Structure 1
Amino acid sequence: MIAKETIDKVFDAVRVEEVIGDFVQLKKSGANFKGLSPFSDERTPSFMVSPVKQIWKDFSSGKGGNAIAFIMEHEHFTYPEAIRYLAKKYGIEIEETEQTDEAKEQANERESLYVVSEYAQEDFERNLWETSPGKAIGLSYFKERGFTDTTIRKFKLGYAIDEWEIFTKNALDKGYQLTFLEKTGLTIVKENKQFDRFKGRVMFPIHSMSGRVLGFGGRILTTSKKVAKYMNSPESDIYHKSKVLYGIYYAKQAIAKEDNCYLVEGYTDVIQFHQSGIENVVASSGTALTSDQIRLVNRLTKNITVLFDGDAAGLRASLRGVDLILEQGMNVRVCSFPEGEDPDSFARRNSYDDVITYLKENTKDFIQFKASVLVKEANNDPVKKADTIRDIVGSIAKIPDRIKQEVYLQECSRIMDISEDVLFNTLAQLQNKEVKEADKNYKKARQQKAFDVVKNDAQQLTKVDVQYLLERKIIELLLLYGERSEVFDDLVLKATDDGKLELEQQQFEARVFEKIYLDLQDDEVDFTNSIFRAVYVQLIEFFTSEKKFSIELFMQELTPEVVSEVTSILMDEEKYQLHNWESKDILVKQKDHDLGQMVNETILNLRCFLIQKRVEALKTETLQNREGNAELLEEAMHYLRLKKVLSEKLNRVI
């Protein structure tokens, strides 16, 4: 259990823009920051961060909250884990207590996989530094690759002892369950036997963006042709190789700072670049580049530089990865190393300044690079040259930005010595073909669903929940303006000499929360939505007990579910900044414009709604009862007269 004092220290130290900035590239937008959603695939920013309110909102997925909520959502942490992560980030000491056997059993499966992976990483690292085979084999190998002790410890490299089940046996002895050892792929279970997957390999832990161990890459040090040189952890609930980039945890800050990401192929390429001083580098870990991997980088920068080995084998396959990057709307540059060199060997043999100079001088635009590679293959064959040009135009067609497309076509025209008109026509043909295919698929899908749509239309029509919206509006007014003093035109209901009801207007000054509280108290109104009811009670208590209202302090006391709803309310006004209306000379009306009138109208609307609800209930009761209807009808007429008076005040016609 973490002490409340420690949690308070974490909340005091945390800055939501700093926490999220480790995962998402944020750009200033007025008083806030905006960026691409880390929870959905998008090209236009819909993710907003408010430093003033210390909250965030993702308008594409609907998620939101404070810094704790972001870490919990993004990294699938529990609340204590999120606190521990942030405490470590801000250098706050936190007392860790040993988990009991009962607590371990209660941990969910996903968390158990993380725990087992973390143990494995520590065990492999301990083997490397503290055992004779680890030092003699594993450590010697890393030293031969030119890695220093500091680098080896930084990347938490390790060694798996070359015995069939030593790791599994030790893990079981320490209380880790075989089920989770098998699900992470650390242990292979066949019939009644189990053995270690990575035995005799040097180990490269693969981390998430926040530093959690997801899986491992293991390299065999023998020359046996029967065994794979590299072996990765199998797919699991926490490790999906198509969604992970090796080194992203160590590179994320440098990528955002440099506004560029170097993409290499292997683990040692990443490590050697880091050791040389170039930290904005990640690897696809030997797998074909995927859209999910590209989106990880896209959160941090729009610029990727792909580094190719000097060996031309597989170069065409690598170029397909470039097309994927273009589809994501990113800027791609390419650099290849001299023949026989790769990023690892080149960085090891050259100084930092020499590597940087080489990258600057030899990095090309993807069109230039692709053209130079494919032209060599064409070898002056007119047919092959035509195919090459068509291939390049196919890549350009994947770029979503029309201006970039035109610039690249002009560049292609210059390099390949062909008219721009031909290239533009070819591009149009490719795009028309894609549009026709997409349209065909759309029509086919629409026809298949036509009858279902008709049948389900009536079911899909949802009735607007007026009371929910009004209750939400009241919570919004309290959160944004609860402390503000305002002059209100209050309406006092009085009976005239002839018995008619009239509203008499009176002016008085009060704070917004006092006005709302007194009016709802007079009407004996209770919130029907459980979340709003809980927030309302806590808000009133906070306003009456604290000298100054603080959203940060208030949200510390809320559950994650309530935090999400409160964030949605608070950030509604911020979403208009995403459209940058001011640049289009469109002024968005501020929420606090005519605040007193807004509070009055919200309460009057709620009163009208509740009166109508009561009238409907009386109608139903009248139909069900045969006797005593006179009293019910009289009560209903009273409410209808009252509603008419309120509606007139709201300028409505009954």
Structure 2
Amino acid sequence: MISKATIDTVFETARVEEVIGDFVNLKRAGSNFKGLSPFSEERSPSFMVSPAKGIWKDFSSGKGGNSVAFLMEHSHFTYPEAIRYLAKKYNIEIEETEQSDEEKAITDVRESMYLVSEFAKTYFHNTLFNSEEGKAIGYSYFKERGFSNDTIKKFSLGYSPESWDAFTKEALGKGYKLEFLESTGLTIPRDDRPFDRFKGRVMFPIESMSGRVLGFGGRILTNDKKAAKYLNSPESEIYHKSKVLYGIFQAKQSIAKLNNCYLVEGYTDVIQFNQSGIENVVSSSGTALTPDQIRLINRLTKNITVLFDGDAAGLRASIRGIDLILEEGMNVKVCTFPDGEDPDSFAKKTSYDDLVLYLENNAKDFIQFKASLLMNEAKNDPIKKADLIRDMVVSISKIPDRIQREIYIQECSRIMDISEQVLQSTLAQLVQKDVSEVGKKQKQEQQAFEVVKNENPIDAEKVDVLYRLERKIIEILLLYGNKTEEFEDAFLRTNEEGEIENVIEKKDYKVYQRIYLSLQEDEVELANPLFRAIFNDLINFYHQNENFSLEKYLMHLQPDFAQEVTDILMEDERVVLHNWEGQNIFPKSKSETISQNVSETILTMRWYLVGKIIDELKSSLSSEPDSDNTEPLSLTMDYNTLIHSFSKKLGRVMSRYY
């Protein structure tokens, strides 16, 4: 078990913008950073990181928290794994304490699968370097491909022995359970004798963006025609081939830094480019490009350059992925290599400078690429040329940005020698069709929502008033609880003439003390169970920590409070997202009127609660002729007088709360 001292050091050292910056392309926005959500599909940034508060908030999905919470949400780390990851990132030595048997037993299925996969990676890698078979077959193959030892280690390349169950026996001997060997696809079950899926293959570990092993690709080296040349891990709880990209872990920082991603087809293409010095390259690993894979890149950059070999038939089959890239609002270029060359072979024999120059000079806009690829086929055939133009306009229609569509229409008109008007007309028809389909889908979803909404009526008054007031109290405590402010205390006293007079005194209080005493005076506790728990937790923390800091509280924060606390703390960051100041709208800072903010919130809550009492009194009035309603009517008048005083202090007319 990781010691508390180590955990505290990790929290104190880790910078949230640096941790998240490894996974999301962040851009500065005032004192904060913003980027595209890594949890949902979007084209406008709704993901905010606040270095000052040490937290992040994804407004599109509602998720939020600190550095550890991000790793747990994004990379599916357990809490200890997230701490270990950060300790490794910041070179913090981990201090361990004795773990109980019960704690050792708490390991979920996914975690067990990750552990088995990590063991397999290490086993295959060690076999490559340390066994006679591994060196003679696997290591020799990688050397023939031109891979250096550093490159082999960087990608943790390995070798699985030819023996039927060498890996399975080793894993079982190390205490790994057969059920997890089978669920990851590393071992194929058989009643009499389970055997290795990847026997006799060189191994390519497939890692997530955070470096966790998700699965494997294995290449056979014999000429067995019955066996597949490449074999991938089957789909599992941790491996979904349509959602991963080979090389993304090694490429992520370079992609974000250079603001471009090269997309290739095979494992060795990625590895050879890396060895040549170009690290911002990933592979779809032989599968057709999917929207999920594109979105993975979209988190790091808006620019993709697709690299194809010179095989014309393969090119035509592959360009279908271009439309998917355009639909995601990304910029796409295409670069082809000379006949007989692929990214692997070309990079192997080309120096870094020449390779960079070739990519820069030969990367074409997708319109130019489609035209150059298909015009030879169309030549003087008007029908084929019309089909080609229509195909190009279909691609342009996928682009969400209208200005970009306009520019591409102009470019298409110039290249294909056809009027812009005709192209615009065709484009308008296609866009309208897409809009109609989207509208139809949204209408269906709205109808479904209406059914749900009608079946679950919400008490609007509770949501609009009490919920907001209690949430406001938590917000004030989090942001300003330890600040000292001047408050007005009002009380009655008898003067020298024996008259009762209203006296107002000004006195300094800590904000949290003022709120706590006010609620104690009214004998009120928050109605919302979550807010009540957070309130009590906060007040206790203030009482126990004279030098309160938000960062320190967030370290202590209970996991079940984290989501709500983050939502509250990051509410103001919507101002940054909407860029109000750029529109000459300047929201007033809450810190300018903390005392007023506290007093108004408490008074409004008192008004609300007294209003509820009045409603109850009114409902208790009897309509019977002989009934005595004197007491409830008298109390109602007294409470109305009290509300009048609230209204006067708040400077509002006697309306309902707001």
Provide the TM-score with structure 2 as the length reference: 0.92
Q: Look up the match of 1:513.
A: 512
303-312 vs 455-464, which moves further:
455-464
Offset at residue 175 of structure 1 (A)? 1.9
Secondary structure of 1:43's partner?
coil
2:578 alignment partner AA = H
Offset at residue 162 of structure 1 (A)? 0.9
Offset at residue 615 of structure 1 (A)? 4.8
Secondary structure of 2:608's partner?
helix
Q: 1:501, 1:642 within 8 Å by CA — same for their partners in 2?
A: no
Offset at residue 301 of structure 1 (A)? 0.7
Q: Look up the match of 1:208.
A: 208
Q: Look up the match of 2:128.
A: 128
Offset at residue 462 of structure 1 (A)? 4.2
Q: 1:34, 1:49 within 8 Å by CA — same for their partners in 2?
A: yes
2:417 alignment partner AA = D
- Partners of 1:605 and 1:442 lie apart in 2 by 39
2:456 alignment partner AA = Q
1:583 alignment partner AA = G
Matched, 1:653 2:654: yes
Where in structure 2 are the equivalents of 1:175-186 lying within 5 Å?
175-186=175-186
* Residue 457 (structure 1) aligned to one of 430, 454, 458: 454
Distance 1:642 1:45, change over 3 A: same
Deviations 1:590-632 (A, max 9, x none): 2234322211110011222233344556677888xx9999877
- Partners of 1:568 and 1:281 lie apart in 2 by 36
374-383 vs 226-235, which moves further:
374-383
Distance 1:166 1:99, change over 3 A: farther
- Partners of 1:503 and 1:601 lie apart in 2 by 20
Offset at residue 128 of structure 1 (A)? 0.9
Distance 1:415 1:509, change over 3 A: same
Sequence identity of aligned pairs in percent?
A: 62
Where in structure 2 are the equivalents of 1:352-371 lying within 5 Å?
352-371=352-371
Distance 1:382 1:621, change over 3 A: same
Q: Look up the match of 1:273.
A: 273
Q: 1:16, 1:55 within 8 Å by CA — same for their partners in 2?
A: yes
Q: Look up the match of 2:330.
A: 330
Q: Look up the match of 1:579.
A: 578
Distance 1:94 1:321, change over 3 A: same
Where in structure 2 are the equivalents of 1:245-644 lying within 5 Å?
245-439=245-439, 449=447, 453=450, 457=454, 459-463=456-460, 464-465=462-463, 466-492=465-491, 505-615=504-614, 638-644=638-644
Matched, 1:86 2:86: yes
Offset at residue 193 of structure 1 (A)? 3.9
Gaps of 5+ in 1: none
Equivalent pairs counted in the alignment come to 648
Offset at residue 560 of structure 1 (A)? 2.1
- Partners of 2:529 and 2:427 lie apart in 1 by 56
- Partners of 2:58 and 2:485 lie apart in 1 by 32
229-238 vs 469-478, which moves further:
469-478
2:580 alignment partner AA = W
1:531 alignment partner AA = L
Secondary structure of 1:516's partner?
helix
Q: Look up the match of 1:52.
A: 52
578-587 vs 628-637, which moves further:
628-637
Secondary structure of 2:456's partner?
helix
Q: 2:16, 2:49 within 8 Å by CA — same for their partners in 1?
A: yes
Deviations 1:296-331 (A, max 9, x none): 111111111111112222212211111111111111
Where in structure 2 are the equivalents of 1:19-98 lying within 5 Å?
19-95=19-95
Offset at residue 468 of structure 1 (A)? 2.8
Deviations 1:16-46 (A, max 9, x none): 0001111111111111111111111111111
Distance 1:503 1:245, change over 3 A: farther
Q: 1:503, 1:645 within 8 Å by CA — same for their partners in 2?
A: no
Provide the TM-score with structure 1 as the length reference: 0.93
Distance 1:445 1:485, change over 3 A: closer
- Partners of 2:634 and 2:169 lie apart in 1 by 82
- Partners of 1:493 and 1:324 lie apart in 2 by 73
- Partners of 1:92 and 1:59 lie apart in 2 by 32
Distance 1:455 1:95, change over 3 A: closer
Gaps of 5+ in 2: none
526-535 vs 319-328, which moves further:
526-535
Secondary structure of 1:34's partner?
strand
Secondary structure of 2:590's partner?
coil
Offset at residue 561 of structure 1 (A)? 2.2
- Partners of 1:597 and 1:203 lie apart in 2 by 66
Report the RMSD for the aligned CA atoms in angstroms: 2.8
- Partners of 1:225 and 1:264 lie apart in 2 by 26
1:203 alignment partner AA = M
Distance 1:101 1:165, change over 3 A: farther
- Partners of 1:501 and 1:209 lie apart in 2 by 72
